[in-house]
């Protein structure tokens, strides 16, 4: 029987500590107060009366020290995991393990909110049920980094001749806007220009400093001067819903961008968060430089953790038939080792081992595959699924 101290309480979720170890339990019944000491024995809490408890998470000494020494981290973990729900424990353990506390202490509440809104949905997403939101400039940065470059060019001389002697209808420190009497079928973003077609005419935004990636688009709703003003002030968002990339203004889809159904998977080593507000980039900004995190919920991939020095990748995929599937992957030269864990129907998953091994060997890899009921991301015998 062990004596633990209550260091946090969130409704029926109790956080206990003992000798630099942290235990997260869900209980029903009388809830001890923060600061009290309790006895824990075989999933029971004794406070003069026996209360049953369910293990939600366990953090070892290294992780617990970070939780103790980083103000606000415990409540942040509670919020991003939906109250330490078991399907989020994978993320929490890896996040705390690789977190740099000093970076967490500097993150703004606005950025925390972006991460909190993203994670619960991303960690549960199956396939293209997930929506992504970007500000306008985040979207342009995302297009530039994740989609194939094009040779399409905008002829500066033709555009300069078109707008010569025309009055500027909107102007700012970094842009001028013109209305031109030319008809265009598609809108265009490229270099310094954004061309927005109307009926028999078009708005042309000329930026003085920007260098935008090429993307074409269709205009679905009439565009007004008010829209242009909000566009330039970034009072709009870009959303990806299924295979559609749309610009939303005042709750309406104004523009649909011509981009592929699926985003190209970015290489983990190229993930950086400089000036980008997307949650994945913000999370990486909090981690040790040797580790990169990636989430591709539109593919059903909730987590990818890449440890550069060890050539280790941990991949977590949500499926309907097998539940959450974890692949713990090591690659050294041509030797590949993969340990699979499935939340359910593990025997059926392992029946594909021979076929998968043959495919891997056909591309020159010496493969070893393991199928285990023990979660490869569990610590000290505590399973991530309780």
- 155: pLDDT strictly greater than 70: no
Using DSSP bridges, classify how beta strands 335-342 and 366-372 pair: parallel, antiparallel or unpaired: parallel
Task: Reduce the DSSP state of residue 256 to 3 states and report it.
Answer: strand
- Tens-place pLDDT, residues 265-274: 444 444 443 3
- Tens-place pLDDT, residues 30-46: 778 888 887 777 666 76
- Tens-place pLDDT, residues 293-303: 988 776 678 88
- Tens-place pLDDT, residues 360-378: 888 888 888 888 776 655 5
Q: How far apart are CA 273 and CA 101, in angstroms?
A: 17
Q: What DSSP letter does each residue of 11-26 carry, written as one string?
A: TTEEEEESSS-EEEEE
Output helix, strand, coil percentages for the chain, rounded to the nearest 5.
30, 35, 35
Nearest residue to 319 via CA among 296, 304, 299: 299
pLDDT at 49: 66
10: phi then psi, degrees, rounded to nearest 5: -130, 90
Runs of H (alpha helix) within the chain: 61-69, 73-80, 89-98, 101-106, 109-122, 136-146, 156-163, 225-233, 279-285, 346-350, 353-362
Mean pLDDT of 95-110: 92
Mean pLDDT of 352-356: 83
- Tens-place pLDDT, residues 207-256: 888 888 888 899 988 888 899 989 988 888 888 776 678 899 988 899 99
- 144: pLDDT strictly greater than 60: yes
Using the Cα atoms of residue 128, residue 134, residue 140 and residue 146 in order, give the sign of their dihedral. negative
Helices (H) and strands (E) in the chain, counts: 11, 22
Judge if pTM exceeds 0.85.
no
Tokens of 300: 């059903």
């Amino acid at each position: 029987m062990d004596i633990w101290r209550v260091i946090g309480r969130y409704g029926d979720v109790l956080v206990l500590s003992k000798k630099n170890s942290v235990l997260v339990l869900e209980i029903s019944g009388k809830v001890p107060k923060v600061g009290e000491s309790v006895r824990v024995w075989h999933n029971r809490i004794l406070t003069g009366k026996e209360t049953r408890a369910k293990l939600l998470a366990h953090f070892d000494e290294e992780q617990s020290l970070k939780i103790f020494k980083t103000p606000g981290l415990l409540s942040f973990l509670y919020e991003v995991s939906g109250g330490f729900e078991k399907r989020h424990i994978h993320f929490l353990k890896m996040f705390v393990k690789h977190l740099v506390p000093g970076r967490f202490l500097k993150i703004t509440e606005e950025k925390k909110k972006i991460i909190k809104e993203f994670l619960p949905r991303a960690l549960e997403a199956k396939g293209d049920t997930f929506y992504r939101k970007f500000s306008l400039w985040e979207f342009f940065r995302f297009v530039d980094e994740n989609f194939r470059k094009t040779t399409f060019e905008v002829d500066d001389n033709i555009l300069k001749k078109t707008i010569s002697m025309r009055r500027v209808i909107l102007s700012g420190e970094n842009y001028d806007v013109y209305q031109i009497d030319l008809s265009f079928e598609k809108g265009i973003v490229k270099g310094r220009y954004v061309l927005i077609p109307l009926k028999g005419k078009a708005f042309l935004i000329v930026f003085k400093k920007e260098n935008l990636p090429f993307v074409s688009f269709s205009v679905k709703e009439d565009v007004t001067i008010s829209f242009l003003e909000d566009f330039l002030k970034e009072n709009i968002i870009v959303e990806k819903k299924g295979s559609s990339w749309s610009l939303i203004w005042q709750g309406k889809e104004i523009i649909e961008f011509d981009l592929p159904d699926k985003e190209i998977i970015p290489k983990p080593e190229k993930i950086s968060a400089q000036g980008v507000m997307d949650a994945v980039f913000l999370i990486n900004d909090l981690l040790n430089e040797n580790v990169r995190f990636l989430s591709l919920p539109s593919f059903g991939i909730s987590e990818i953790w890449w440890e550069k020095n060890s050539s280790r990748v941990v991949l977590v995929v949500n499926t309907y038939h097998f539940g959450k599937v974890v692949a713990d992957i090591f690659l050294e030269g041509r030797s590949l080792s993969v340990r699979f864990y499935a939340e359910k129907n593990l025997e059926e998953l392992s029946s594909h081992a021979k076929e998968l091994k043959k495919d891997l060997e056909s591309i020159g890899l010496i493969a070893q595959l393991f199928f285990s009921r023990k979660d490869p991301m569990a610590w000290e015998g505590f399973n991530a699924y309780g």
